[in-house]
Chain A
Amino acid sequence: KAGVTQTPRYLIKTRGQQVTLSCSPISGHRSVSWYQQTPGQGLQFLFEYFSETQRNKGNFPGRFSGRQFSNSRSEMNVSTLELGDSALYLCASSLGGGRGYTFGSGTRLTVV
């Protein structure tokens, strides 16, 4: 059974640019959540999508957005990148109901 796939693994962008990260969940999982991990702030929830609808959103500026497609694949977009957006972005998929979450290996974003 394939796991959660995140692409790309590494990304270097310049301040002011925008970036799109992709997440393919485990087959059958309709919930996809995104997290930002930094040394200073730790793991913070960005948002969750379920059946193409955003169900929950963390405390991040509007520059952070996402979407989910009918096949449950999800993308997150960060516009007007800032140095502070440098982080590991993790995606997790779930069947729901507190049964646990399967994470991808993350995308390491560096903003220069």
Chain B
Amino acid sequence: AQTVTQSQPEMSVQEAETVTLSCTYDTSESDYYLFWYKQPPSRQMILVIRQEAYKQQNATENRFSVNFQKAAKSFSLKISDSQLGDAAMYFCAYRREIKAAGNKLTFGGGTRVLVKP
């Protein structure tokens, strides 16, 4: 079974600075998808960024970028120029590529990001 581990329960960052969140996963498969989701106090999970395992290029979405190391099974998220609105829980998630697996996401335990003004 696949597992996703986020080793940092909480990270604090100064406004306008950069913070990096760690995520490691365990899988025997070669094709899969990885996601970072943000959950603010409003509770709604918001997709931040996604990465297809077959793509070597790291995904980027505005101030958010990932460092995808397939061999090391590592998928870290970098938030640049942090803003107060970035304060939230961040979850790393894994999805198998096999069609029969459907759309099941396996989540890590989450990292709380605090942004100091």
Contacts and interface: CB of A to CB of B under 8 A. Distances in A.
Contact of A56 (B44, B52, B104): B104
B55 to A, nearest CB: 11
Nearest to B31: A98
Contact of B43 (A33, A45, A58, A88): A88
A7 B47 CA distance: 21
Contacts of A88: 43
Interface stretch (A12-20, A62-70, A76-84, A102-110): A102-110
Contacts of A55: 102-103
B33 A98 contact: yes
B102 A31 contact: yes
Contacts of A61: none
Contacts, number: 64
A43 B37 CA distance: 12
B6 to A, nearest CB: 10
Interface of A is mostly: strand
B24 to A, nearest CB: 16
Given A43-B91, A48-B102, A50-B102, A100 B109 contact: no
Nearest to B101: A56
B105 A101 contact: yes
Interface residues of B, number: 24
Nearest to A41: B109
Contact of A45 (B44, B91, B104): B104
Contact of A94 (B43, B103, B110): B103
B25 interface: no
B107 A42 contact: yes
A92 interface: yes
Interface in A7-63: 31, 33, 35, 42-43, 45, 48, 50, 55-56, 58
Given A42-B107, A42-B110, 15 more contacts: A31-B103, A33-B103, A33-B104, A42-B109, A48-B102, A56-B102, A88-B43, A90-B43, A90-B45, A98-B52, A99-B50, A104-B44, A105-B42, A105-B43, A105-B44
Interface of B: 33, 35, 37, 42-47, 50, 52, 91, 95, 97, 101-110
